[in-house]
A and B are shown apart, each in its own frame.
Chain A
Amino acid sequence: MLKLENVYAGYGERLVLEGINLEVGDSEIVCLIGANGAGKTTTLKTIMGLVRPQKGQVNFNGDMLATQPVNRIVQAGISMAPEGRRVFGKMTVLENLEMGAYLRKDPIGQDIEEVYRLFPVLKERAKQPARVLSGGEQQMLAIGRALMAKPKLLLLDEPSMGLAPLMVEKIFEIIRRIWKTGTAILLVEQNAAMALEVSQRGYVMETGKIAMEGSAAELRRNPNVRKAFLGRAGERR
């Protein structure tokens, strides 16, 4: 479905991604883990077209995305829940969801209901400004908003960041449910243990390069991965 081939990208003079190769298959959950500043978010932004690759290709079902504007990429079937949630705080929950469906011309009522089924709390709060929601609720809204675009591939950037353990469980549960509806997911996470648990495959990034890749089970067993990412989380099990 998605294939990054030898992608170089960065901000102005600063090169962040140095030859990324990455693949997400149809109805697959793939996770991307790595230390702070490795370039995970940059990878997602490059896929979305927010950052332009200087070299390399982003192939989505045969479409070459590298030179297309963001709205074309969304229309092609990719959407993203950004790092730090970044809901529109002054807009209502419902308006946030409507913004997620901005490019759609078809009726969206049913999809809103579906998001409400996935996140009942959003329905209760539909008329409230998003900034009054709790962190977890805002994360649900960010995911719901991304789902409103009816994506074939959903990019999630650290959905568990800053959430209480119970809420983290809940979010991962939801990610699994979304995946079951047939949406492919590329998941960026700090919480490598949980990420590798829901994912089928994974990539490990180190300063702009893919350092390792493999099935989730392989990575979970890999001593380097255990040392770097599963430290305390691994011991807890």
Chain B
Amino acid sequence: MGRSDLFVQVVAQGLAMGAVYALIALGYVMIFKAVGVFNFAQGDFMMAGCFLGLWLVSTGTIPLFAALVLAVLLSAALGVIVEIVAFHPLLESPSRSYLMCTIAVGIIFREVAKMRFGADPLRFPNYLGHGVIKVGGAGLSVQYIWITTVAAVVVVLLLWFFKRTKVGKAMRAVSEDREVARLMGIDTDFNMRLTYAISSALGAMAGVLIAPVFFAFSEMGRSFGLRAFSSFVLGGTDSIVGAVIGGLLIGLMENLAGVYISTQYKDVVSFVVLIAVLVWRPTGLFGERGEQRAG
């Protein structure tokens, strides 16, 4: 494998991982826009979706793809239930209570997963095959191409949803001014539930996309969720495009740093870049909330 092949390989892997971070980060964005709080359970929604998929597949009664789609839908429902039971009562409380609640929900998710599935990683069915497309000396896995494609389609659909549909626009309105949105006749409770449904489904999608390579384990929400969180902050916390670019950048940076600098420093490099960007632009690459506050 030549130098340029190596570069292609690293960039392709970085983009695929970045696409996964972006999907999870979009969930962070949605909740932050709706409630102005970091949802620290977002990574664990991803883990929950993954285990739901595993459980549905293991029942053996449902075709594989149907099981995965069902897992994403069930995760959406789970998001709604958690919103109603845990988060909704805190909507008018100080945001630190809400934040603590998201942390607590994450812990509960992880412990339940540990009790039900154990602490060790579990094999996830390899439904995307493991074909490899040779590009020069580099090998691009079909699975990574799928991950990137699905993430791209989801992002485009999401952008379309927020830009073009009535419900999507209403969600934007609620995220800007919940009280005035109510004055428009928008059912803000329903909206909040829909927000959780979508963000949880996004996490679940990321989960079932990467589990065939990285397995399903109860702590997966933490290791992938942390990178996604960096992506979300880098992108500016309230921008869909920002989360996507942030995810791709973190994915690229950690892979480039791992190969061209040192594997010991791959995480350090992403965090240094993140901090540097925040010093230079406190609102992140695409954030606007900070400007508004100042204004």
Please report A residues at the B interface, Cβ cutoff 8 Å: 48, 50, 70-71, 74-75, 79-80, 82, 86, 88-91, 95, 98-100, 102-103, 131, 145, 149
Contacts and interface: CB of A to CB of B under 8 A. Distances in A.
B185 A75 contact: yes
Given A90-B288, A98-B166, A74 B176 contact: no
A99 B186 contact: yes
A103 to B, nearest CB: 4
A48 B183 contact: yes
Contacts of A99: 169-170, 173, 181, 184, 186
Contacts of A74: 183-185
B176 A89 contact: yes
B172 A70 contact: no
B180 A88 contact: yes
Contacts of B170: 99, 102
26 contacts: A48-B183, A50-B179, A70-B182, A70-B185, A71-B182, A71-B186, A71-B187, A74-B183, A74-B184, A82-B179, A82-B183, A86-B180, A88-B172, A89-B176, A90-B288, A91-B172, A91-B173, A95-B169, A98-B166, A99-B169, A99-B170, A99-B186, A100-B184, A102-B185, A131-B292, A145-B184
B39 to A, nearest CB: 21
Contacts of A80: 183
A86 B292 CA distance: 13
Contacts of B179: 50, 82, 86
Contact of A71 (B166, B173, B185, B292): B185
Contacts of B166: 98, 102
Contacts of A82: 179-180, 183
Contacts of B187: 71
A176 B184 CA distance: 23
Contacts of B177: 86, 88
Interface in B152-191: 166, 169-170, 172-173, 176-177, 179-187
Contacts of A91: 169, 172-173, 176
Contacts of B292: 89, 131
Nearest to B182: A70
B152 to A, nearest CB: 24
Contacts of A90: 172, 176, 288
Nearest to B169: A95
Nearest to A95: B169
A50 B170 CA distance: 18
B238 to A, nearest CB: 9
Given A70-B182, A99-B184, A149-B184, 19 more contacts: A50-B179, A50-B182, A71-B185, A71-B186, A79-B183, A86-B177, A86-B180, A88-B172, A88-B177, A88-B180, A89-B292, A90-B172, A91-B172, A91-B176, A98-B166, A99-B173, A102-B185, A102-B186, A131-B292
Contacts of B180: 82, 86, 88
A95 B187 CA distance: 17
Contacts of B181: 99
Nearest to B163: A95
Contacts of A145: 184
A82 B170 CA distance: 18
Contacts of A95: 169, 172
Interface in B26-66: none
A80 B46 CA distance: 41
Contacts of B172: 88, 90-91, 95
A50 B176 contact: no
A70 B184 CA distance: 8
A202 B24 CA distance: 55
A26 to B, nearest CB: 23
A134 to B, nearest CB: 14
A2 to B, nearest CB: 16
Nearest to A70: B182
Nearest to A48: B183
Contacts of A50: 179, 182-183
Nearest to B187: A71
A48 B182 CA distance: 9
B291 to A, nearest CB: 10
A100 B169 CA distance: 12
Interface in B258-280: none
Q: Which of B172, B177, B180, B187 lies at the interface centre, i.e. has the most chain A CB atoms within 10 A of its CB?
A: B180
Contacts of B186: 71, 99, 102
A88 B183 contact: no
Tell which of A79, A88, A98 has the most Cβ of chain B within 10 Å.
Answer: A88
Nearest to A79: B183
Contacts of B176: 88-91
Contacts of A79: 183
A113 B187 CA distance: 27
Which among A50, A70, A75, A80 has the greatest number of chain B C-beta atoms within 10 A?
A: A70
B161 to A, nearest CB: 14
